[in-house]
Structure 1
Amino acid sequence: MEWLSLAFMQRALLAALITGVTAPAIGTFLVQRRLSLLGDGLGHLAVAGVGLAFLTGTAPLPMAVAICVIGSIGIEMLRESGRASGDVGLAILFYGGLSGGLLLAGLAGQGAGTLSGYLFGSLLTVGTADLWVIAGLGTVVLVVTLGLLPQLFTVSADEPFARSIGLPARFLNILVVSLAAITVTVSMRTVGLLLVSALMVVPVATANHVVIGFRTGLLTSMGLGAVAALSGAIGSYYLNTAPGSLIVVIAIGLFALSWPLSKLLERRRRPIIEVEDVVEPALHELTESHPHVHNEHCGHLSVQHAGHVDYVHDGHRHAAHGDHYDEH
């Protein structure tokens, strides 16, 4: 446990914890909106922000946040206006962001190797200033996500209904993608821009296997994300491997374990019906003869049944069908 006394490990664990909690928190709404790959697109767009930071000589993290938020809002506006479908918008993010980032980094005299720390994460090199920025942005994401949970869930689950009850659907949609953009850029030093989408989606899918309810699933996914992030950070110290890749592998491992667990929980939740409690449906039987004509004044009790009237007669219910009566 000597690693706990190392300053860089302390910073790494705190950064991993923040990322592990915030990524599934906003990822829950992306999965609800069927935008699971949006994190990948925003990650590629953030590469352009990093390249622009190299070219202008500014800090990569704030520049990546600004570019990513602006790009995500632009794509959301295009999607809402109908000028670009969701998959077209993601394609623009994928290819435009990555190619633009590589081009800008090359113009700044930086090769692809310089970008690798941002593409695949560099958790153990997180500095004190980086940690403060990560903590501040992570706090913003969590406060807004949990504070506006009912509104964000409504617009993510059923946007027309959200509009019908007076919610500002456009603003909430922009807020969701903006929070996703912030989360992606916060995570680029921990799991990397190319792997962050996994941490946004996989814990959510795992939680959906084992719990019921949106709020419960949200909190469970945040806990699973924290477990995967902290385990990956600690494991990378002992295994001498990249923390980002180990974090994602652990998250996928938890998902694999949740599959048989979900089957077991499904069986336990399924109600058990005793054989003697099962009542066979009554069959319609044609009576041999029925000289009496039933009507509302015949003196027999009438009972409404499936769109017609049954009359109680000699312990049975009779119903007029054409030129005869059926016995129920």
Structure 2
Amino acid sequence: MEAIAEILSSSLMQRALLAALLVGAAAPVVGTFLVQRRLALLGDGIGHIALTGVAAGWLVGAVVGLTPRDVLALPGAMVAAVLGAVAIEWVRAKGRITGDVALAILFYGGIAGGVLLIQIAGGTSSNLMSYLFGSIATVSPTDLYWTAGLALLVLVVGFGLRGPLFAVSNDEDFAKASGLPVQLLTSVLAALAAVTVTVAMRVVGLLLVSALMIVPVATAQAFARSFSRTMAWASGIGVVVSVVGLCITYLYDLPPGALIVVLAIALYALASVLSHRRRVRLHARDGGADDGEIAPPGRVDDVHLADHDDSPAAHGESWRS
């Protein structure tokens, strides 16, 4: 109890906890759509190109004489990530390049651009380390305002448009036939992913942000039986691992971002074991314990996501309603 009181009495930890809570809630919301689209690594690619935005913010700050020079790092990362994600999605949709090539461009171009621009700005590669791996202890009030605003935007748009975004993520051809603006919705989803990467930059770092977006979703799929429930469970799991991980690092000298991701993966491993045991029991109860193989983790839940979603399309209604 004394440790909890000490954590809550620190203004630094108050900001860090709020940032962790917001990021933990928002990141898996977007990750749910990315998993459905089989673009789990998109967050990694956007994270790399956001690094170019961080360095560009440093460069602008150096040119205009701002103090500290990284005051524009977060806005620069957001602009670069959104523009890059939307541009790549547009090019991919036009059939100019495939998804894996688009991700490769984001990966390599983002890192190269970031290293080059930070050198031009008078900094070194070490100045980028806190953005690559997270530095939640350095969250300033300004950073918190940005994080809160962007996280709330992600939550409102993600939950508010979950029906149309699910349709696009599940089957673009069906969504197009239903009259949905597929190109606009995919661009919105790409922009949401970019904003999420920017939001999570300070908490887990650009290199680890994709894990916080995807792993809680994989964990939620072990038990949830609809798309909306998966999203809600994933968001809750993200909050738990983020807050718990941050509190542990307050007591022990450990890197917060890495610990948060390790906790998320450990929870996924536990959920996978429990889910597998449950399927084995159900298989045995149905009298088929010796017949065939048990479905691999996630397979059953993917079917449920597609077939038993509580979206309007699942009940024959229009997506516009």
TM norm. shorter chain > 0.5: yes
Partner of residue 79, structure 1: 92
SS at match of 2:222: helix
2:48 matched to 1:44? yes
Cα distance per residue 1:20-75 (max 9 Å; x no partner): 11110000000100100000000000000001011110511111101110011110
Among 164, 167, 172, the residue aligned to 1:151 = 164
Distance 1:210 1:107, change over 3 A: same
- Rounded Cα–Cα distance in structure 2 between residues aligned with 1:103 and 1:40: 19
* Residue pairs, 1:157-168, within 5 angstroms: 157-168=170-181
2:13 matched to 1:9? yes
Please report the TM-score for the alignment, with normalisation by the length of structure 1: 0.82
Q: Give the superposed CA RMSD.
A: 1.4
* Residue pairs, 1:65-104, within 5 angstroms: 65-104=78-117
- Rounded Cα–Cα distance in structure 1 between residues aligned with 2:286 and 2:20: 47
- Rounded Cα–Cα distance in structure 2 between residues aligned with 1:143 and 1:169: 20
2:41 matched to 1:19? no
Write the letter of the residue equivalent to 1:162: A
2:242 matched to 1:229? yes
- Rounded Cα–Cα distance in structure 1 between residues aligned with 2:13 and 2:247: 8
Greater relative contact order, per chain length (Cα 8 Å cut-off, separation 6+): 2
SS at match of 1:189: coil
- Rounded Cα–Cα distance in structure 2 between residues aligned with 1:113 and 1:184: 20
Write the letter of the residue equivalent to 2:21: L
- Rounded Cα–Cα distance in structure 1 between residues aligned with 2:157 and 2:259: 29
How far the C-alpha of 1:274 sits from its partner, in A, is 7.3
2:210 matched to 1:197? yes
Among 54, 60, 75, the residue aligned to 1:56 = 60
2:200 matched to 1:181? no
Misfit runs of 4+, over 3 Å:
267-275
How far the C-alpha of 1:211 sits from its partner, in A, is 2.0
Write the letter of the residue equivalent to 1:18: L
Write the letter of the residue equivalent to 2:57: A
SS at match of 2:237: helix
* Residue pairs, 1:304-319, within 5 angstroms: none
SS at match of 1:83: coil
Q: Which of these two proteins has the greater Rg computed from alpha carbons? A: 1
Cα distance per residue 1:284-318 (max 9 Å; x no partner): xxxxxxxxxxxxxxxxxxxxxxxxxxxxxxxxxxx
Write the letter of the residue equivalent to 1:79: R
Partner of residue 220, structure 2: 207
Partner of residue 245, structure 1: 258
Please report the TM-score for the alignment, with normalisation by the length of structure 2: 0.83
Structure with greater strand percent? 1
Partner of residue 67, structure 2: none
Partner of residue 149, structure 2: 136
How far the C-alpha of 1:273 sits from its partner, in A, is 4.6
Identity of counterpart residues, as a percentage?
Answer: 51
**How many residues are paired up?**
275
Partner of residue 169, structure 1: 182
Write the letter of the residue equivalent to 1:246: L
- Rounded Cα–Cα distance in structure 2 between residues aligned with 1:272 and 1:189: 48
How far the C-alpha of 1:271 sits from its partner, in A, is 8.5
* Residue pairs, 1:258-297, within 5 angstroms: 258-267=271-280, 269=282, 272-273=285-286
Is the Cα contact below 8 Å between 1:210 and 1:261 reproduced in 2? no
Write the letter of the residue equivalent to 1:217: T
How far the C-alpha of 1:240 sits from its partner, in A, is 1.1
Cα distance per residue 1:152-188 (max 9 Å; x no partner): 1011001000000101111100000100000001111
- Rounded Cα–Cα distance in structure 2 between residues aligned with 1:253 and 1:272: 29
Write the letter of the residue equivalent to 1:204: V
How far the C-alpha of 1:266 sits from its partner, in A, is 2.3
Is the Cα contact below 8 Å between 1:210 and 1:265 reproduced in 2? no
Partner of residue 321, structure 1: none
Partner of residue 36, structure 2: 32
Distance 1:31 1:274, change over 3 A: closer
- Rounded Cα–Cα distance in structure 2 between residues aligned with 1:215 and 1:108: 45
Cα distance per residue 1:82-126 (max 9 Å; x no partner): 001000000000000111001000011111111111000010110
Question: Mind listing any 5+ residue stretches in structure 1 that lack a counterpart?
Answer: 276-328
